[in-house]
Amino acid sequence: MKAFIENAELDDDKFFFGDQNLQHNVHNVHHVHPLDLSQAVDAGQEAIDAAKRVIDSALEQCKDNPAILGGAEFIDAYKIISSNPALKFKYRAEIKKRKPPGVPMADIDAMATTQTGEGDRQDSTAAELIELVTNAGELHYDPQADKSFVSVDIDVVIHTMQIGSKPFIDWLSYEYYSSTKTDGGFGKSASESAIKQASFALSGIAKHDGDRGRVFLRVADYNGCHYLFIGDEQRQVIEVSPTGWRVLKVAPVKFWAPGSMQALPIPHPNGDLSRLWDFINIPERDRPLVLAWILEALRAETPKPILALNGTQGSAKSSTQDKIRQLTDNNSVNLRAAPKSIEDVFVGAGCNWLVSFENLSHLTPAMQDALCTLATGGGFAARTLHTNSEETIIEVKRPVIINSIPNVMTAQDLTDRAISIELPKIAYREESEINAEWEKFKPSIFGGLLDLFVKTLGLMPKVKLINPPRMADFTRLGEAMMQAQGHPAGTFDTLYKANRAESIGRALESSPVAVAVREMVDAHNGSSTLVFTGTMKALLEKLDTHKQESHAWPKSPRGLGDVLRRQQPALSSLGIDVEISKPGRQGVIVEIRKREHGELCEGSFKDFSAERKKQDDSAAFYDAEVF
């Protein structure tokens, strides 16, 4: 047996057991004596006494050096002790009691089983599993997602599963049981460690020897068409093109289904989309925005605005969000609680097409940045678990929907990528009654949605945008959608810009400095567009007359400058230009000007309410509001 390797640095959270790369780097263990397992069994009591000394010594050191519990000497000693059942249970209890929390007892047990031949059987089982998978299906590797898959024929239907996922493990466990079943008896079960061992090998085989290409999650854009994976047992796919839609038994692209994915409804031809509004509580003036967002969620490659539903208790926020997701990316848990970390956001996005969070009360700046990244496309990188030098990268672009009572979006980048909808309070109806009707009409609603998608795709090449906003792809789709419904050009653009203006206005309300600047501009009289010019200190003094009681009010000219720089884009979009000079002899000079028109709507920022009312009253946009 090899002696321990001395003088190695190893943190607790970097040490692990099982099917990963086991590290035996331990320092200060020179007094632990190597054991020769080949002679230990025959040595009787002497070998057992030596093994007890090794274990006792290791338990004294494991708190500071957890790697000692994975060392060859300790494992050999534990194997010898395990030959005596009474000693095994005694020492196992002691090891479990004194080991560090990050060292699983199951892994220590697993490493100590090789003496009895269990390790050989595990290797043999893993080899059988590998052979079973390679004979039953085709291996694939998606280089963009860095994931390995296998496609297998299950009841004459091709299922593509990510290797190592729950559906894959369930299938493989059953196949192994079935293949080892004897007449009148039971089959064998593969251990968790054997399945993991086989999965690691299969992932490598797929990466180096399997077919290479994209394997999609729910939605794919391919060869001028859009494909939507229904996710039912028949693995059917909907193909949508500018000329029509159809349900396919076999698609030209591959899709995989995570364990939590649920099936979309089977759409009815010539459906009735108008019934959608009987089940989701969206104000009629905002319905085109939500409808365009749903259609955008059916496209794979384009940036997507974030849909934020706000409203008081009793406004059916969660019910509305749940039903929207049932039409786009149905899941066993359609509404997720607020994520605890940025990593949670991206891990969830890695196995869900639509990212859905409910009942948010606050979004940190880092979390808002993460949602921005999801909307327009980007990635998250972190150290791969149990390694020092490897990175795990999750790169995604996803539709995002959230709901909250207050407005939780305060970052300019996020509000600029969002559609914010205020839901009115509604009269209560029994949920069981609503859901029964929803299930009845859902296939027809879904068919009507696909009909509108077809018409929208047909008109998109003809749409011309003038001064498009940041989410230009979404605006083009929305314009085509509105024109497909008979509205004049520019209708959706005006509606979307007004909504963005309101969202930015609400975000600005969370900044007392921005509110004070807007009030100062409001109070400005005269024909000159120049509202203020002077030092940052002078501006701080002038804004004091518009100051609101807030702990966030800047205490110095420098603090005021930091706030103004963050709010510059939002103020500019509302028709207020803030120019800040570099420091000079007189200090930092600030110039504030008022433009007649802001970027986001016709008229100044004071006319937002009038602009919205004009839209509400326009017969070209809406009829009377009903729900």
Q: Give me the CATH number covering residue 542.
A: 1.10.10
Predicted local confidence at residue 535, as pLDDT:
93
Give pLDDT tens digits for 395-426. 688 999 999 998 888 777 788 889 999 999 98
Distance CA 93, CA 85 (A): 12
Q: Which of 498, 493, 443 is nearest to 468 (CA)?
A: 493
Distance CA 214, CA 145 (A): 8
Task: Please count the helices (runs of H) and the strands (runs of E) in the chain.
Answer: 20, 19
Asked if 234 contacts 249 with a C-beta cutoff of 8 angstroms, the reply is yes
Q: Cα–Cα–Cα angle for 615, 328, 224, nearest 5°?
A: 90
Distance CA 621, CA 518 (A): 30
Q: Which of 544, 533, 518 is nearest to 590 (CA)?
A: 533
Question: What is the SS3 assignment for 419?
Answer: strand
Please indicate, yes or no, whether residues 94 and 131 belong to a single structural domain of this protein.
Answer: no
Which of 6-10, 78-82, 208-212, 239-243 comes out lowest in average pLDDT? 6-10
Residue 311 lies in a domain: yes
Return the number of other C-beta atoms located less than 10 Å from residue 224's C-beta: 8
Structure tokens belonging to residue 143: 């280089």
Confidence of residue 110 (pLDDT cuts 50, 70, 90): confident
Cα distances (angstroms) measured from residue 495 to each of 150, 236, 459, 509: 46, 36, 19, 21
Strand order in the sheet with 137-142: 157-162, 147-154, 137-142, 211-212
Structure tokens belonging to residue 475: 């605006």
Predicted local confidence at residue 86, as pLDDT:
77
Please indicate, yes or no, whether residues 89 and 151 belong to a single structural domain of this protein.
Answer: no
Residues of the chain with pLDDT > 90, as a percent, come to 46
Beta bridge partners of 247: 238
Beta bridge partners of 212: 141
Predicted local confidence at residue 394, as pLDDT:
65
Expressed as residue numbers, the domain containing 152 is 120-213
Please indicate, yes or no, whether residues 481 and 517 belong to a single structural domain of this protein.
Answer: no
Asked if 410 contacts 368 with a C-beta cutoff of 8 angstroms, the reply is yes
pLDDT reading at 355 higher than 90:
yes
Position with higher pLDDT, 7 vs 213: 213
Please indicate, yes or no, whether residues 189 and 56 belong to a single structural domain of this protein.
Answer: no
Number of domains in the chain: 4
Residues whose CB is less than 8 angstroms from the CB of residue 613 and which lie 6 or more positions away in sequence, other chains included: none
pLDDT reading at 293 higher than 50:
yes
Q: Helix crossing, 491-509 with 512-522: angle to 10°? A: 120
> Which of 71, 98, 116 is a domain's end point?
116
Q: What is the mean pLDDT of residues 246-273?
A: 95
Q: What is the mean pLDDT of residues 126-136?
A: 92
Residue 417 lies in a domain: yes
Please indicate, yes or no, whether residues 292 and 152 belong to a single structural domain of this protein.
Answer: no
Beta bridge partners of 150: 139, 161
pLDDT reading at 244 higher than 90:
yes
Residue 277 lies in a domain: yes
Structure tokens belonging to residue 513: 């400095």
Please indicate, yes or no, whether residues 414 and 356 belong to a single structural domain of this protein.
Answer: yes
Asked if 418 contacts 308 with a C-beta cutoff of 8 angstroms, the reply is yes
Q: What is the 3-state secondary structure (H, E, C) of 300-315?
A: CCCCCCEEEEECCCCC
Structure tokens belonging to residue 583: 């420091």
Please report, as a single letter, which amino acid is at residue 121: R
Distance CA 96, CA 113 (A): 17
Please indicate, yes or no, whether residues 297 and 346 belong to a single structural domain of this protein.
Answer: yes
Please indicate, yes or no, whether residues 150 and 94 belong to a single structural domain of this protein.
Answer: no
> Which of 116, 140, 171 is a domain's end point?
116
Question: What is the SS3 assignment for 290?
Answer: helix
Predicted local confidence at residue 120, as pLDDT:
55
Cα distances (angstroms) measured from residue 63 to each of 5, 98, 106: 18, 8, 18
Confidence of residue 390 (pLDDT cuts 50, 70, 90): low
Q: Which of 4, 63, 60 is nearest to 29 (CA)?
A: 4
Distance CA 276, CA 290 (A): 11
Distance CA 318, CA 482 (A): 27
How big is the chain, counted in residues?
627
Of the CA atoms within 13 Å of residue 3, those in its CB half-sphere come to: 10
Q: Helix crossing, 491-509 with 287-296: angle to 10°? A: 100
Task: For the chain, give the mean pLDDT.
Answer: 82
pLDDT reading at 42 higher than 60:
no
Please indicate, yes or no, whether residues 20 and 84 belong to a single structural domain of this protein.
Answer: yes
Q: Is the pTM of this model over 0.75?
A: no
Predicted local confidence at residue 1, as pLDDT:
35
Please indicate, yes or no, whether residues 314 and 461 belong to a single structural domain of this protein.
Answer: yes
Asked if 75 contacts 1 with a C-beta cutoff of 8 angstroms, the reply is no
Long-range contacts of 615-621 (CB under 8 A, 24+ apart): 615/285, 615/494, 615/495, 615/498, 616/285, 620/487, 620/488, 620/491, 621/285, 621/288, 621/487, 621/491, 621/495
Give pLDDT tens digits for 559-591. 898 888 888 877 887 789 999 998 888 889 999
Residue 261 lies in a domain: no
Predicted local confidence at residue 546, as pLDDT:
81
Predicted local confidence at residue 119, as pLDDT:
52
Predicted local confidence at residue 379, as pLDDT:
65
Predicted local confidence at residue 599, as pLDDT:
55
Residue 248 lies in a domain: no
Exposed/middle/buried for 135, CB within 10 Å: 0-12, 13-18, 19+? exposed
Please indicate, yes or no, whether residues 201 and 97 belong to a single structural domain of this protein.
Answer: no
Q: What is the mean pLDDT of residues 115-142?
A: 80
Look-up of token digits 């879904």: 446
Residue 567 lies in a domain: yes
Predicted local confidence at residue 382, as pLDDT:
56
> Which of 79, 97, 116 is a domain's end point?
116
Exposed/middle/buried for 331, CB within 10 Å: 0-12, 13-18, 19+? buried
Which of 32-41, 261-270, 283-292, 304-313 comes out lowest in average pLDDT? 32-41
Please indicate, yes or no, whether residues 148 and 179 belong to a single structural domain of this protein.
Answer: yes
Confidence of residue 391 (pLDDT cuts 50, 70, 90): low
Residue 605 lies in a domain: no
Asked if 177 contacts 188 with a C-beta cutoff of 8 angstroms, the reply is yes
Residue 353 lies in a domain: yes
pLDDT reading at 522 higher than 60:
yes
Decide the pairing of beta strands 306-310 and 418-422. Answer: parallel
Q: What is the mean pLDDT of residues 304-324?
A: 93
Give pLDDT tens digits for 157-181. 999 999 999 999 999 999 999 998 8
